[in-house]
Every structure is written in C-alpha cells, then in structure tokens.
Amino acid sequence: MAGVYSLFRPLLFRLNPETAHDIVVQTIGLMGQIHPLNQYLIDTCRGPLPSIPVEAMGLSFPNPVGLAAGLDKDAKAVDGLAALGFGFLELGTVTPLPQSGNPRPRMFRMTSAQALVNRMGFNSGGLNFFLARLGQQQQQAIIGINLGRNAATSNEEAWRDYLTGLRAVYRVADYVTINISSPNTKGLRDLQERDTLDGLIARLKAEQSQLAQLHQKYTPIVVKISPDLDIESVARVAEVLTLRGIDGIVATNTTISRPLDAKAHPQASQAGGLSGAPPAALSHRI
C-alpha cells in the first residue's frame, strides 16, 4: 500500500487540496463497494496490523489509531475506510440541515511544515443525507459521529441543533462527539465558556438518559475542545464536563495560532484552523 501512495502522492499534490481530498474519499468509497478491491484493502492494510485493543467508554477499540472527523463528512466511504484497519472512524462534522460551508478556496497545504490550513465551515449534506449513506455500510467498525450546529443557528439556539443531531444518530452511533471548537463557524468556540457549556451539556446528558431508555443502548457523548484554550479555561471546561458526567474529551481541534515552525510558510497567513505537525505541542499540552 505504501508503494501505491508513493505513486499517486505527487499527482494528488499537483491538484487543489480540496479536489485531491474529494478524489481520495470517492476512490476509497468506490473500493469499499467492490468486493475484490475491498478485500485487497483488508489484506494489505488491516490484516498485517497488530492487535492492540483499547477498552474505553464501554467500547472495545481494536487498536488505538482512529480516523479523526473531517475526512469523511457525509459517510461516503465508510466500508473502504473500515477496511484500512482504523481502531475507529469518526465521521462528520454533520449539521442538521445541509449547508455548503465557506467559499472556496478554503483548504491550503503547507507541505514543508507537514501541515494544512482549512476554513471549510462545516460543509455538510445534512443529517438525512448522512444517515442514508451510513445505512449502506456493510463493514463492521466503531463509528463515532461528530455533530455541529448550522451556521445560521445562533449560539443561544445551538442546543436545539445538537439535540436534533443526537436524537437522529443515537441509535446508529457507537459514540457521539459534540464539536464546539471549530474556528471556522462564527462564534462556535464561545460555546466553551463555562455557563454556556454547562447549559448545553446538561441538556445533552438529560436527552442521552432518555434515549438510552428508549433504545436500550447507552451511547457515550464526548466533547471536542480547542487547543487555543488557556490553562484556566481548560480547567473550567474539565470541571463542567466532569460534574455533568460527560463520557470523554476529544483533544483537540485545529488551532488559529501559528507556531514558529509554521509562521514562515507562505500559506500561514491564510485564515482558518491549522492541523498537522506544528500544533502537536498545543494539543499535547491540553
């Protein structure tokens, strides 16, 4: 598989980053639907992997390396991605209603820094489209579903979007991630402020309890936080999440800062969240 990557990487890197991203997702999705190609992925990728099981949140992960949200936002390539051998697949971010996200271009490579800047803005086909695609899944995998609010929804009403998402995906998700830390949806990160966060999590935990009884299934809820929080803010967030009995934290989202090893890159001035090697220290700090 490494040889295939080495062959196609130069070609993909000649394309616009978002175009390359879409081609990869479509290709993996297609391979997942064609049995011989899907089996090839299993044999060459999943088969050689060592078994390093991880028990967390009542779930048994086959290994500790999972796929973060953002690659497959609309559940278009679940079977192909599952065949690659990830310990879990986190799909999304998905919003209640379809939305196109921010204007293009909105993804920028920083190849020499092993980094990427994006300002996608929760582009999503919406819950109905997402669930229809997920329903076609055949491969077994631990599925996390990452939920966001629509851009047109105010923070005061954001809880409605998250409850809508939770109700829609609860039965089919192995765990649910509440994304309140993307820098690319205006005001979203303000949901991490103590009182606002407490109100949101209280509603989500109450709904989780009702849904667990309805479906006879407990689906853990985790919260994705920003690497740009200062230590005092992290402590406040952790206190709220602990007191409310949240099941876990995803640390972290992308950063709006530009660490020294990324500042000199021509694309560093682009607005958006930075991911990759440069912000690793920020995430580890959290």
Task: For residue 112, give the CATH number of its domain.
Answer: 3.20.20.70
Residue 219: is the preceding peptide bond cis (ω within 30°)? no
Determine whether 6 is an active site residue.
no
Quick one: pLDDT at residue 183?
98
Mean pLDDT by 10 residues, the chain (286 residues): 79 97 97 96 87 96 97 98 97 99 98 96 99 94 98 98 99 99 98 99 99 99 98 98 98 95 89 96 94
Q: Quick: pLDDT tens for 230-285.
A: 999 999 999 999 999 999 999 999 999 999 778 889 999 999 999 999 999 999 99
Quick one: pLDDT at residue 155?
98
Q: Comparing C-alpha atoms, which of 260, 259, 240 is closest to residue 196?
A: 240
Quick one: pLDDT at residue 83?
96
Q: Tell me the two tokens of residue 16.
A: 């616009």
Quick one: pLDDT at residue 152?
98
Quick one: pLDDT at residue 194?
98
Cβ distance 56 to 145 under 8 Å?
Answer: no
Q: Tell me the two tokens of residue 92.
A: 């999304």
Residue 124 burial (C-beta neighbours within 10 Å; 0-12, 13-18, 19+): buried
Quick one: pLDDT at residue 241?
99
Annotated active-site residue in 51, 100, 112, 182: 182
- 201 sits in which H/E element: helix 194-215
Q: Comparing C-alpha atoms, which of 105, 115, 126, 273 is closest to residue 188?
A: 273
Number of folded domains in the chain? 1
Quick one: pLDDT at residue 2?
64
- The whole domain housing 40 covers 2-285
